[in-house]
Structure 1
C-alpha cells in the first residue's frame, strides 16, 4: 500500500517530464526558432544597408547558392570560391565530387584538356540521372557503396596483415623449436634410446 501511495503522490513535474512534448509545445518551439532566424536575417540586412560601401572582407563572406553543372547538387559557397571554381572549369561551377572526377579524367587523358573531360563527365552524369527514378537518392546510395568498398578494402588489408604476422610468428616459433632439437643430440639420443640408454621398441 505504501508503494501505491508514493506513486500517486509523485509531483506532476516529474511525471510530466517523462511524457513526450505536446504538439502545442512543438509548434511553439518551431515558431520560436523561425522567429530567431528571421531576426538574424533582419540584423544582417540592416547592418549591410546602413553601410552602403562595404569593405572587401564583407563582400567575400557573402554566401550564395549554386548548382553543379554536372550533377545539379546545390551548395552554399562564397562568391570568391565560386569564381575560382568557374575559372578552373571553363565557366561552369562544379561540386567537389564532380570537380575531382573531371580532374581525374584529365589526368587519364591529358590531350583532351578541361573541356573534353567536362563534356564527358556531364554526359555521364546526365545518363546517370536519366536512368534513375530519384537521382539524388541514387547518388547518395552510390557514395555509400564507394565508402563501404573503401572500408572493406582497408579492413581486408588490415586483417591480411594480422594473419601474415600470426603465421610469421608461428613459423619463427617452429624454427626455434627445430633449432633447439637439432642442437642437442644428447636429448635426441635419450628420447630414442630411453633414459637408461636402452633402445625403445
Structure 2
C-alpha cells in the first residue's frame, strides 16, 4: 500500500479543474530559447525540479537529452543544459541567415554528420549480409514487363 502526498500546487490545480471542468493553465517562457508554452502549474513545477529551477521547453529538453547521450563521458543534466544554452546563445547572436536555403542545407549537413559520428550501436545496421570483396554473384532480378496494367480507352 502506498500513500500519495499532494502538494499545494497540485491541490489548487485539482480544485480549479473540479470547479471549472478545465485544468488551470499558465504561460511560461523557456529559460533557454524564450519559446512560450501553456502548461499546468503542476507540470511547470515538475520541470523546474528536474532542471535546477529552470523552465525549459520540450524542444530544449530533447536537445539536453541529446547532449547527454552524444558525449563520450558521463555528464550531468546541469552540464548538458549549460552546453545547450551556450550553443543556443551562439545561434541567436549570429543573427538571421543571409540565405535561408543555404542555412537549411548547412543545418541538415550538421545533423547528418552528428548522426554519423554517434556510436555504431545507436545506429541501425543493415539486416542483409554485405558482399565480400571479390565475391561474384549470379545475375540479379530483371524486369520482364511492366507492373502497371496498360490503360485502354
Given the two structures, how large is their TM-score scaled by the length of structure 1? 0.39
> Residue 89 of structure 1: CA displacement?
1.3
* Equivalent residues in 2 for 1:1-201, closer than 5 Å: 56-58=14-16, 61-109=23-71, 111-133=74-96, 168-170=140-142
Q: The residue matched to 2:85 in structure 1 has which SS?
A: helix
Whole-Å separation in 2 of the counterparts to 1:107 and 1:101: 10
> Residue 79 of structure 1: CA displacement?
0.7
Whole-Å separation in 2 of the counterparts to 1:96 and 1:84: 13
The 1:87–1:54 alpha-carbon spacing in structure 2 relative to 1, beyond 3 Å, is closer
Superposition CA RMSD, Å: 3.4
**Deviation by residue 1:1-20 (Cα, 9 ceiling, x = unmatched):** xxxxxxxxxxxxxxxxxxxx
**Deviation by residue 1:62-84 (Cα, 9 ceiling, x = unmatched):** 11111111111111111111111
> Residue 132 of structure 1: CA displacement?
1.4
**Deviation by residue 1:105-125 (Cα, 9 ceiling, x = unmatched):** 112235220110010101111
* Larger RCO of the pair (alpha carbons < 8 Å, separation 6+): 2
Q: Which has the higher mean CA deviation after the structures are superposed, 107-116 or 57-66?
A: 57-66
Give the ranges of 4+ consecutive aligned residues of structure 1 lying more than 6 Å apart after TM superposition.
none
Aligned to 2:118: none
Which structure's residues are more often helix, by fraction? 1
Gaps of 5+ in 2: 1-10, 113-138, 145-153
Mapped contact 1:62–1:78 kept (Cα < 8 A): yes
Whole-Å separation in 2 of the counterparts to 1:120 and 1:82: 22
Q: The residue matched to 1:81 in structure 2 has which SS?
A: helix
Mapped contact 1:90–1:114 kept (Cα < 8 A): no
> Residue 57 of structure 1: CA displacement?
4.3
